[in-house]
Amino acid sequence: MSASWHGVRTVAVLELRQRVRSTRWVVALVVWFVVVGAITALSWAAIHGLGGGPGVDGGLPEEVFTGPPIFGVVVFFVLFLGLLVSPTLSATSINGDRNAGTLATLQVTMLSPAQIAVGKLLAAWVAALAFLAVSVPFLVLALAAGGVPVVAVVVCLVVLALLLAVVCAIGLGFSALSPRTSGSAVLTFLSVAALTVLSPVVFALTVPAVTQDEPVRVWSVPLDYDWESGEPPECEWRTETMPVFHTERTWWLLAVNPFVILADAAPEARQAATVSDPLAAIRTAVRAARTGPATEQDWCTDTFGSFTSDGTPVAPAQSPVDVPEPDRSVVWPYGLAVELLLGAAGLAVAIRRLSIPQRRLARGTRVA
């Protein structure tokens, strides 16, 4: 165990030294810091600007926290940038070394293929974590705005770290498969794009396929209700046939999305803010999609019966339809499990391809 860790550390230190000493690395961190800082400042200004409408003197009412929206924007932006940067950290680490003629000399040492692969992954991940670390001040800033529990920052950082590790592992796998560095970089970016962009697109495109005309029990105004009468209607049960979206069959398409995983895993804000919280919005939407359509719908309570003809409000008739309880069951473990499996597959491919002696060579490659 200690011997294998020693080998992993040797490779990781080698990789990091090679990377850290190039100045581009520092520049990249500085650019990252500036960009995330700018986004934080902009979202801060925008959200406080929104509250400054007429009727409220000088801003939002005190009891509404501005933390959750700022936190949501910053966390998503960090994830977005992380997904862009992480592939470059690992997607050239094996074929790049092979092209530079440094891989084979490592392979013939006592280092095992697993040690080399894990060491390279570890180095890429540590580099990705450095970007996360640079973003922490801005998450803390959002915390200071109030409404975000401290645990949310911790959970989000952990989930971000895991997601970036997965991207690094996928990149590592492609760098072992593809002989060219440009090829593996493109493949890694495409995989990230598939998970982030393609997943909601495919979900949307499959909606017609999971839509069926079905009878639904509806609590509604009687069909013979006289709209001129001025009396509140007596609502009644009726069965109507209408298109029903069975998203409970396709919710998993959304669940593999890194943004969904992050939003769903983030602990809920202390108070539902009037300004929208992007994390909460996505969380609610994906959990609703997973729950699927309700078998009973209330078309009456909110629509009618608010006022009598002379303008006095009337307490709405008690609806027999249960208020749809937001599903509390979490979605992120499924998504994260799939992501981690993908990462494990990438790592396994890398280990396999690093094993020597090699039986087959990729077309157009030399061993050393």
Residues at the contact surface with other proteins, assessed by CB under 8 A: 3, 6-7, 10, 13-14, 17-22, 97, 100-102, 104-111, 356-359, 361, 367-368
Q: What does the buried/exposed string (b/e) look like for 284-295 if buried means 16 or more CB atoms within 10 Å of the residue's CB?
A: bebbbbbbbbee
- Specify the residue, 1 or 110, whose C-beta has the smaller distance to other proteins: 110
Q: Which amino acid belongs to residue 62?
A: E
Inter-residue contact 66 to 273 (CB < 8 Å): yes
Q: List own/partner pairs for 106-109 with CB under 8 A and 24 or more apart.
A: 106/11, 107/354, 107/356, 108/356
Q: Taking the complex as a whole, how short is the minimal distance between the CB of residue 350 and other proteins, in angstroms?
A: 17
**Phi-psi group of 37: left, alpha or beta (phi > 0 → left; psi -120 to 50 → alpha; rest → beta):** alpha
**DSSP of 82-107:** HHHHHHHHHTTTTHHHHHHT-HHHHH
- Specify the residue, 119 or 346, whose C-beta has the smaller distance to other proteins: 119
Please tell me whether residue 120 adopts helix, strand or coil conformation: helix
Q: Which amino acid belongs to residue 315?
A: A
Q: Taking the complex as a whole, how short is the minimal distance between the CB of residue 270 and other proteins, in angstroms?
A: 47
- Specify the residue, 159 or 350, whose C-beta has the smaller distance to other proteins: 350
Inter-residue contact 62 to 237 (CB < 8 Å): no
Q: Taking the complex as a whole, how short is the minimal distance between the CB of residue 250 and other proteins, in angstroms?
A: 45
Find the radius of gyration of the CA atoms of the chain. Answer: 27
Q: Taking the complex as a whole, how short is the minimal distance between the CB of residue 354 and other proteins, in angstroms?
A: 11
Separation CA 106–CA 10 (nearest Å): 11
Closest CA to 237 of 259, 250, 218: 218
Q: Taking the complex as a whole, how short is the minimal distance between the CB of residue 361 and other proteins, in angstroms?
A: 7
Q: Which amino acid belongs to residue 296?
A: E
- Specify the residue, 10 or 211, whose C-beta has the smaller distance to other proteins: 10
- Specify the residue, 4 or 303, whose C-beta has the smaller distance to other proteins: 4
Q: Taking the complex as a whole, how short is the minimal distance between the CB of residue 109 and other proteins, in angstroms?
A: 4
- Specify the residue, 114 or 210, whose C-beta has the smaller distance to other proteins: 114
